[in-house]
């Protein structure tokens, strides 16, 4: 209780301090240039077929305040900001009450944003929770209050707020949902529409009518409490039957807002587009969005994630030019706008191993190169030890091929390879492939203990998917002003950085992860989705205690999926399969009906029928067999030395 009182006193001091700052900034705002709110956020977003999928102010059906029903205006003010006409952008008493309530509950249970603040967020700000953003919000809010009347602010707010299903502005929403103009809304209809913006996905009357009605009733009770309607009107409106005429379109993608946010982030990095673009006459942004890909990704995540606290993110990309055709940064944009696909870094687990194994192929390894899969403790010169473990403590206790090590995602084999090549080799390869995260040369690096962003990972994997060319992932293809003048156009710049023949071999090795011919003392890590795959892919999964990844590709498409909790608490083992299922569902759905493609074998690569577990040429009575690929002249003879012996000799030589 004493701690609570102390926190409350500190909060009150900070609130007083903030009030003084706000008043001072408000005075300064009066002397500052006026925000051009009628032009702000006038952006039109096009997909890869040049169809509009989102637009800002320029696409709304703007109506003046006197053309909007008083019922809608009253319901909005009562619900969102009952002191709207009394404050100067910040409702200090409401902030005080919210602070007290949240401190008492020890969590955020009540907000205090005003209509002006919400309008500013809609027009000018992203959703980063940083102090810089908070300062910008305060400055822009006070500037708006200083230069515009309350009616002008309210009119702008009602004409730009998002009502779901692609509807921005009250006039568009009223016509879409109810088939009438905003000026003709009765109390019940007004309260129903005001229910939507809090969470357009959750309170859509098309998909969650009962939840929308529950919130409508709460809004009507608030209007009664705030003296906008009497009790009889409240009860009558609650019971009024409302017919919804809108329909959910097939391309109605709530997740596309994550894509939009990523586009705006990328736009800020383009020097040829003015940094003040939000305050200019508007922009047309042509993106790489494929709405069918976005739909496949969104539906797959929704199908597999039923825990609201468990988050998922995904990216689909054309590996040949780096165009991002679909992107989702979380389960539900209405609940969390944080874009995990572009902003977060998470442990990548065994999805790091293909970087290691390409390095190994460059250094003379083949698909048959073998190490012994057994419990191993590495002892270093300083006396420290490292004892990696295989998943489930499953070991072959025998020599296994590189192909089998990839299929089982054998950690012992990976660390032995890492130590044999030298720990700097993997760091250098990751950098070469475009990983910008700073990595240290440590024994556990191939097991994915470092946190890396999804865009970095998909860019690196794309180099394998396109047979060795480094590309830059991007969402924007072209930017124009409203008169059609081209301000920016993507220029495809690729660079060959890997050996095509070795990449071909690696890509085939990554098909072992779901190949039943590898079932032995262990089984392939992606065998559970083998029945869902209609064509050939290179795939690698990776799991740590807190993260689960699946990244896979063919010549036309690369898909990356991550699941985990934002607070990084442990994933149950059964949850790791969800990233694999999301990957399979999304990829297969998108590619359904398209031509099946695979890579053409280079002339200097040969296929050899071998025992896939040992990597040795098959004998007459061999049951297990699979074609693996080799550079000409490196085909297995059956006499190869197990690399543990070479590794042990190498360590002895180093000691001497």
Active site residues: 80, 350
Give the span between the Cα atoms of 169 and 182, in whole angstroms.
Answer: 10
Q: Please report, for the chain, how many H helices and E strands are present, in that order.
A: 20, 20
Biggest alpha carbon–alpha carbon distance for the chain = 95
Give the span between the Cα atoms of 159 and 73, in whole angstroms.
Answer: 12
Give the span between the Cα atoms of 32 and 29, in whole angstroms.
Answer: 5
Helix%, strand%, coil% for the chain, nearest 5: 45, 15, 40
Length of the chain, please?
656
Give the span between the Cα atoms of 596 and 554, in whole angstroms.
Answer: 9
Q: What are the distances in angstroms from CA 119 to CA 116, 255, 281, 532? A: 5, 22, 19, 46
- Estimate to the nearest angstrom the gap between the alpha carbon of 255 and the chain centroid: 10
CB atoms within 10 A of CB 592: 11
Question: Which two three-digit tokens encode residue 574?
Answer: 């059964």
Q: Quick check: 629 and 606 in contact, CB under 8 A?
A: yes
Measure the CA dihedral 371/373/376/380, to 10°: 20
Closest alpha carbon to 298 in 539, 482, 542, 561 = 561
Hunting for tokens 């959910």 — which residue is that?
A: 248
Task: Collect all residues with Cβ–Cβ distance below 8 Å to 245 and sequence separation of at least 6.
Answer: 177, 178, 179
Residue 168 has, within 13 A of its CA and on its CB side, a CA count of 20
Q: What are the distances in angstroms from CA 518 to CA 88, 276, 319, 610? A: 69, 57, 28, 12
- Residue 639 gets the label, from left (phi > 0), alpha (psi -120 to 50) or beta, of alpha
Give the span between the Cα atoms of 512 and 540, in whole angstroms.
Answer: 9
Give the span between the Cα atoms of 551 and 307, in whole angstroms.
Answer: 22
Give the span between the Cα atoms of 581 and 532, in whole angstroms.
Answer: 9
Question: Which two three-digit tokens encode residue 164?
Answer: 């779901």
Give the span between the Cα atoms of 455 and 435, in whole angstroms.
Answer: 9
CB atoms within 10 A of CB 186: 18
Three-state DSSP at 523 gives coil
Closest alpha carbon to 245 in 177, 180, 191 = 177
Per-residue b/e over 383-395, b at no fewer than 16 CB within 10 Å? Answer: eeeeebebeeeeb
Q: Where are the beta strands (DSSP E) in 168-276?
A: none
Hunting for tokens 């998917």 — which residue is that?
A: 465
Q: What are the distances in angstroms from CA 285 to CA 39, 46, 266, 324, 478? A: 16, 6, 11, 14, 6
Q: Quick check: 434 and 456 in contact, CB under 8 A?
A: yes
């Amino acid at each position: 209780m004493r701690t609570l009182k102390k926190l409350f006193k500190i909060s009150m001091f900070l609130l007083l301090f903030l009030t003084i700052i706000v008043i001072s900034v408000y005075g300064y705002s009066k002397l500052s240039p006026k925000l051009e709110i009628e032009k702000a956020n006038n952006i039109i977003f096009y997909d890869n077929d040049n169809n509009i999928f989102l637009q800002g102010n320029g696409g709304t059906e703007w109506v003046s305040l006197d053309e909007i029903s008083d019922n809608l205006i009253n319901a909005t003010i009562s619900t969102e900001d009952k002191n709207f006409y009394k404050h100067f952008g910040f409702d200090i008493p409401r902030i005080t009450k919210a602070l007290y309530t949240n401190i008492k509950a020890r969590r955020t249970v009540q907000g205090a944003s005003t209509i002006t603040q919400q309008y500013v967020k809609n027009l000018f700000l992203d959703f980063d929770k940083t102090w810089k953003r908070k300062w910008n919000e305060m400055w822009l809010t006070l500037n708006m209050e200083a230069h515009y009347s309350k009616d002008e602010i309210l009119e702008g707010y009602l004409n730009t707020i998002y009502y779901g299903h692609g509807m921005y502005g009250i006039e568009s929403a009223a016509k879409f949902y109810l088939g009438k103009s905003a000026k003709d809304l009765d109390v019940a209809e007004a309260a129903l529409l005001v229910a939507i913006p809090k969470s357009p996905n959750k309170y859509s009357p098309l998909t969650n009518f009962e939840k929308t009605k529950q919130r409508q009733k709460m809004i009507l009770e608030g209007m009664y409490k705030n003296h906008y309607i009497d009790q009889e009107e409240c009860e009558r409106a609650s019971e009024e039957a409302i017919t919804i005429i809108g329909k959910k379109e097939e391309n109605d993608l709530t997740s596309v807002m994550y894509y939009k946010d990523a586009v705006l982030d990328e736009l800020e990095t383009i020097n040829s587009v003015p940094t003040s673009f939000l305050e200019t006459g508007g922009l047309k942004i042509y993106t790489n969005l494929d709405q069918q890909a976005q739909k496949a990704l969104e539906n797959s995540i929704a199908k597999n994630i039923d825990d609201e606290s468990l988050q998922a993110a995904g990216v689909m990309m054309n590996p040949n030019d780096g165009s991002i055709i679909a992107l989702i940064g979380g389960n539900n944009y209405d609940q969390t706008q944080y874009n995990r696909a572009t902003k977060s870094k998470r442990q990548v687990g065994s999805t790091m191993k293909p970087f290691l194994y390409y390095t190994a192929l460059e250094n003379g390894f083949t698909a048959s190169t073998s190490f012994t899969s057994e419990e191993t403790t590495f002892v270093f010169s300083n006396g420290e030890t490292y004892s990696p473990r295989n998943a489930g403590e499953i070991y072959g206790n025998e020599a296994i091929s590189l192909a089998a090590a990839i299929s089982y995602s054998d950690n012992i084999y990976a660390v032995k390879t890492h130590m044999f090549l030298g720990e700097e080799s993997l760091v250098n390869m990751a950098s070469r492939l475009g990983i910008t995260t700073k990595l240290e040369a440590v024994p556990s690096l191939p097991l994915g203990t470092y946190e890396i962003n999804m865009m970095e990972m998909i860019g690196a994997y794309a180099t394998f998917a396109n047979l060795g060319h480094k590309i830059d992932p991007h969402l924007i293809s072209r930017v124009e002003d409203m008169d059609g003048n081209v301000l920016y156009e993507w220029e495809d710049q690729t660079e060959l950085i890997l050996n095509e023949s070795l990449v071909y071999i690696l890509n085939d090795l990554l098909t072992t992860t779901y190949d039943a011919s590898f079932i032995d003392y262990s089984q392939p890590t992606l065998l559970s989705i083998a029945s869902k795959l209609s064509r050939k892919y290179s795939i690698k999964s990776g799991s740590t205690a807190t993260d689960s990844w699946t990244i896979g590709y063919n010549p036309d498409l690369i898909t990356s999926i991550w699941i985990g909790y934002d607070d990084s608490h442990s994933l149950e083992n059964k949850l790791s399969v969800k990233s694999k299922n999301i990957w399979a569902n999304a990829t297969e759905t998108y590619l359904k009906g398209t031509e099946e493609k695979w890579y053409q074998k280079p002339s200097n690569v040969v296929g050899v029928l071998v025992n896939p577990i040992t990597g040795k040429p098959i004998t007459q009575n061999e049951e297990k067999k699979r074609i693996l690929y080799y550079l000409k002249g490196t085909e297995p003879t059956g006499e190869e030395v197990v690399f543990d012996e070479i590794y042990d000799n190498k360590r002895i030589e180093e000691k001497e």
